[in-house]
Amino acid sequence: MIYLNKMCSSYDESFLSLSDDLAWLSAVYLESRYPDDFEDIDRQDAEKALEIAVNFENFISKKFY
């Protein structure tokens, strides 16, 4: 996600506004995908992940419609 966001931001700088949220989401995903000393994701983190995903979808939708 981070790499694709950097690529997109080279064409449209507004994508840079997503960087922090996508970095957080990527870290959470990697922890759950490749658990080492994995800690369960709590409800607050799950809600934050969902909010980021919805915001990202809305952001992208506005770019294409």
Q: How far is CA 38 from CA 21, 28, 43, 56, 61, in A?
A: 20, 10, 15, 26, 33
Q: Tell me, what's the pLDDT at 35?
A: 66
Supply the pTM of this predicted model: 0.76
Q: Are 26 and 2 in contact (CB under 8 A)?
A: yes
| In the predicted structure, residue 52 carries a pLDDT above the cut 80 | yes
Query: 7 lies in which domain range?
Result: 2-64
Counting the structural domains of the chain, the total is 1
pLDDT tens-digit map of 10-51: 999 999 999 999 999 988 887 777 666 666 778 998 999 999
